[in-house]
Structure 1
Amino acid sequence: MSTPGGSSPWGDADAFKVSLEDQVAQAQARAVRARDMQHEIQALRARARSRNGEVEAETDASGALTDLRLNDRAIDMHPQALAQLILETTMQARKSAGEKAVAVATEAFGENSSATSMLRHEVEQREAARHDGLTY
């Protein structure tokens, strides 16, 4: 099909091909960044330590506890106080892991990208649930 004057309705075929190749290259680059971001977030860990060092907790980006260490002073604590300190320290690690995950997404896709916004929203929801007395 051609327009009056014999030109293609898509304009210059060579320019169209270059434009299409550029779009494909950009899509491939975004896919690589997404894969790299996913791997980096999956490997991400954050640690927190209680003020006096009785408890050290590590979580992954989803907030799951991946390591918990108690020093000798923890053994001398009242069980309820120790339980509370474990929860508080774990929450600190979760918050740090969420912030790190958002930073990874921001670096990969930018502050205002949909991927960064979705991850930030998820982290904020987790923090809000924490403040409501809920955990997940």
Structure 2
Amino acid sequence: MFGRDPDAAQEMLHSWTAELSTRAQSAADLSERVAAITASATGAEGAVRLTVAASGALTDLRLDDRVQRMRSSELASIIMATVARAQAGLTEQVTVAVHDTVGTDSETGRAVTDTFARRFPPPVDEQPDRWERDARSGW
């Protein structure tokens, strides 16, 4: 494999370990960046504001007084749709972090972005929710 030149073998081994070290550091950097990512979204023209962590878990939910005029089923639907929009934002941010660290064409990069894209796809219905349409039309 290395032929009979011990110096060439040593240089190849040194180069290989340096590359592994660089890849490991890039992967560690990616892990730290992804762990720190949050995404926020609003619904019902700002009556619902929320934030999700990199895991997709809801970490903050703020409702203003306008939600008192909504039926509970509408509010629940708005909250769920807003969570989905925030989670889809995670995928976008993770893609940027992958690009900046391990690269989007690397095996690690593809695995991470594919995982987030599967877990947090873009919302199917990007139309304003019913409450927003009703509020704009004056009910």
TM over 0.5: yes
> Normalized against structure 1, the TM-score is what?
0.80
Structure 2 residue ranges without an equivalent (≥5): 125-139
The AA in structure 2 aligned to 1:44 is: I
Q: 1:59 aligned to 43, 52, 55, which one?
A: 52
Question: Which of the pair has the greater relative contact order for Cα pairs under 8 Å at 6+ separation?
Answer: 2
The two structures, once aligned, show a CA RMSD in angstroms of 2.2
- The corresponding residue for 2:102 is 109
Aligned-residue offset at 1:106? 2.2
- The corresponding residue for 1:89 is 82
Is the 1:54–1:74 Cα contact (8 Å) retained in structure 2? yes
1:72 aligns with 2:102: no
Task: Give distance in 1, aligned partners of 2:102 and 2:6.
Answer: 31
> Normalized against structure 2, the TM-score is what?
0.78
SS of 2:104's equivalent?
Answer: coil
Q: 1:43 aligned to 27, 36, 41, which one?
A: 36
Task: Give distance in 2, aligned partners of 1:74 and 1:51.
Answer: 8
1:14-58 per-residue CA deviation (whole Å, 9 max, x = no partner) reads 122122111111111111111111011011101111251011111
Is the 1:62–1:98 Cα contact (8 Å) retained in structure 2? no
**Larger Cα-atom Rg:** 1
Structure 1 residue ranges without an equivalent (≥5): 1-8, 132-136
Task: Give distance in 1, aligned partners of 2:31 and 2:120.
Answer: 21
SS of 2:39's equivalent?
Answer: strand
Residue identity over aligned pairs, in percent, reads 30
Task: Give distance in 1, aligned partners of 2:24 and 2:58.
Answer: 29
Q: Count the aligned residue pairs.
A: 124
SS of 1:105's equivalent?
Answer: helix
The AA in structure 1 aligned to 2:3 is: W
The AA in structure 1 aligned to 2:13 is: L
